[in-house]
């Protein structure tokens, strides 16, 4: 084997990356001092981008497909290396494959509670957790800002940074959303969409996007949960007085079915309470009825040339007996179209029942 054949065997003819992991974002093609042969094949698969770097400077970027590496399709690298008139000799450059698919196994959660102000409960401490998807939106920026010379950049290296960024924005999102604590569960999806846009905008300078953000759960402290449970229970019970009587009746029945011990003591207590109610009932003199509610006036009348009232019907009857209210006196109450003579209002016929009609004309 000649020297040229031996040297030719050290050259790289095919540049490609078969991803056998699920968490690698960027992978550097291992040259091991080998030079890339001019005319070599570059294979970029779907969800991949190949980036050529020359001495730390970003050069050419290749989209998915099979490319033959020549000076014609390496314009930036050719300029950096000074290949003004073409160059066919082997050359060295770093090739980074960037995975552009979505990484959907990113988890987040609040280590410390987020305090928000709620109109109904005041200051409330909230905890939340969920997941999000990330993908590379700008491979060149990602290499410059985060990857550097890392030969294998994994999701674990950026996940904690993203989690901290998520939590820092979650507090402001919940605080400015204006959503009551009781309605947060119904707004989780819309909050996730909002946070996805905010995080994507902030991470644009690093070449990362957050296409999907999921809030799986938002929880409140145990004491707030207990208060909510009590409120729900009260709503289910409805009439507390009827519920108390129902519970008392059940307790009496249970005590009767469990003679002796605590059942007797409970029965004695119930009996004493019943005795007190009976004593109160017996102390009320027989024949004494509860007075009716005070009458409420609703009639206005034009008496002595001015509006007076409101009067109830009994008061109007007294005015009719004294003669200050006649059948020609104008009256009105809410619901009537206008002032009307009292004698023409059917509801006031009883007012004039004891008043004789006017005398017929004489002559």
User: What domain range is 346 assigned to?
Assistant: 299-352
Q: What is the mean pLDDT of residues 114-125?
A: 81
Residues in a beta bridge with 346: none
Question: Which of 1-15, 60-74, 79-93, 274-288 is predicted most confidently?
Answer: 60-74
Same domain? 117 vs 203: yes
Whether 9 maps to a domain, the answer reads yes
Cα 322 → chain centroid? 70
Q: Which band of pLDDT confidence, cut at 50, 70 and 90, is reported for residue 6?
A: very low
Residue-by-residue DSSP string for 23-72? SEEEEE---TTPPEEEEEEEEE-TTEEEEEEETTEEEEEE-SEEEE--SS
Q: Using one digit for the tens of pLDDT, what is the confidence trace for 265-296?
A: 555 555 555 555 545 545 555 555 566 555 55
Based on the structure, what is the number of domains in the chain?
3
Same domain? 30 vs 111: no
Q: Using one digit for the tens of pLDDT, what is the confidence trace for 199-238?
A: 999 999 999 999 999 999 888 878 777 777 776 676 666 5
- Alpha-carbon torsion, ordered 301, 302, 308, 310, to 10 deg: 10
- 263's CB contacts (< 8 A; 6+ apart) are 254, 255, 256, 257
Whether 197 maps to a domain, the answer reads yes
Residues in a beta bridge with 109: 129
Whether the model pTM is above 0.85? no
CA distances from residue 215 to 109, 244, 338 in whole angstroms, order as listed: 9, 41, 63
- State yes or no: pLDDT of 261 exceeds 80: no
Residue ending a domain, choose from 206, 223, 240: 223
Domain CATH for 149: 3.30.479.30
Q: Using one digit for the tens of pLDDT, what is the confidence trace for 323-360?
A: 888 989 999 998 888 899 988 988 888 888 877 766 67
Q: What is the mean pLDDT of residues 190-204?
A: 90
């Amino acid at each position: 084997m000649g020297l040229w054949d031996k040297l030719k065997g050290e050259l790289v003819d095919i540049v490609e990356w078969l991803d056998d992991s699920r968490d690698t974002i960027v992978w550097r093609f291992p040259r091991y001092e080998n030079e890339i042969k001019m005319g070599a094949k570059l294979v970029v698969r779907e969800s991949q981008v190949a980036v050529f770097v020359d001495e730390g400077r970003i050069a050419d970027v290749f989209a998915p497909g099979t490319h033959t590496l020549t000076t014609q399709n390496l314009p930036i690298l050719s300029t950096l290396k000074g290949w003004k008139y073409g160059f066919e000799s082997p050359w060295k450059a770093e090739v980074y494959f960037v995975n552009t698919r979505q990484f959907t196994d990113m988890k987040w959660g609040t280590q410390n509670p987020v305090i928000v102000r709620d109109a109904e409960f005041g200051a409330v401490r909230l905890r939340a957790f969920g997941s999000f998807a990330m993908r590379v939106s700008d491979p060149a920026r990602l290499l410059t800002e985060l990857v550097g010379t890392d030969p294998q950049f994994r999701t674990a290296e950026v996940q904690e940074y993203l989690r901290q960024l998520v939590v820092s924005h979650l507090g402001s999102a919940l605080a400015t959303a204006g959503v009551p604590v009781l309605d947060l569960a119904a707004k989780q999806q819309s909050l996730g969409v909002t946070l996805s846009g905010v995080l994507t905008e902030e991470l644009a300078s690093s070449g990362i996007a957050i296409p999907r953000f999921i809030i799986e759960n938002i929880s409140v402290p145990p004491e707030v949960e207990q208060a909510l449970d009590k409120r729900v229970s009260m709503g289910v019970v409805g009439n507390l007085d009827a519920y108390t009587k129902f519970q008392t009746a059940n307790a009496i029945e249970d005590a009767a079915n469990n003679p002796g011990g605590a059942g007797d003591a409970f029965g004695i207590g119930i009996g004493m309470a019943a005795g007190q109610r009976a004593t109160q009932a017996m102390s009320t003199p027989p024949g004494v009825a509860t007075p009716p509610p005070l009458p409420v006036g609703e009639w206005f009348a034009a008496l002595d040339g001015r509006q007076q009232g409101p009067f109830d019907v009994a008061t109007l009857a007294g005015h009719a007996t004294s003669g200050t209210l006649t059948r020609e006196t104008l009256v009105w109450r809410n619901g009537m179209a206008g002032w009307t003579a009292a004698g023409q209002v059917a509801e006031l016929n009883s007012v004039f029942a004891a008043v004789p009609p006017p005398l017929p004309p004489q002559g």
